[in-house]
Amino acid sequence: MNTKHHLSNYKNMKKIIITIFTIFLVIIIVLVVEHIFHKQTPKSALKIAFNMNFRNFDYTVETFEEQWCPNGDGRTFVICKFNKLSRQNIDYLKGFGLKQLPISEEERRLMDFNRVPKEYFNVSTGYYIYKPTNASNEPLNSWDYKVFVVDTVKNIAVLYYQYM
């Protein structure tokens, strides 16, 4: 009888180990498939950051850089060059609460310009939106924010956001 009991325990343990291994394997496969098929694009970055799209814009993406750590910290930097920037395009963008450039000194102090070329944010003609993404009640700092700048002289848009 002891032998039957040990054999039954062995079979149950074997089933548990196989089940845990299968679940672990499925999770790994899902993560790999998601990583392969759901890479961020400049379009999705703009959608994620400000819920905008450039569907009716004539533009090309000049720069798309992102660097993300496994813990979720990272940054995204996108530069789009407009072949033509119409009044309708500008009105569409202004509908998202864009302010007249230059970026205010208060908002400039909150931003961490150590990781992004300053020349894209030192413009004075166009529009911008800056949003800190600090969800807690702590005082705002320069670590988590998103900024979108439209330079109407050079006809470029710059998107930058980071979470640290």
Measuring CA to CA, which residue among 110, 123, 125 is closest to residue 162? 110
Q: Among 100-104, 110-114, 118-122, 137-141, which stretch is predicted with the lowest mean pLDDT? A: 137-141
Total count of residues recorded for the chain: 164
Q: Among 62-66, 92-96, 97-101, 138-142, which stretch is predicted with the lowest mean pLDDT? A: 138-142
pLDDT at 74: 84
pTM of whole model > 0.75? no
With 0-12 CB in 10 A as exposed, 13-18 as middle and 19+ as buried, what is 10? exposed
Domain ranges (residues) in the chain: 1-38, 40-163
- Give the pairing type, strands 99-100 and 156-163: unpaired
Per-residue DSSP letter, 119: G
Q: Among 35-49, 74-88, 107-121, 134-148, which stretch is predicted with the lowest mean pLDDT? A: 134-148
pLDDT at 141: 53
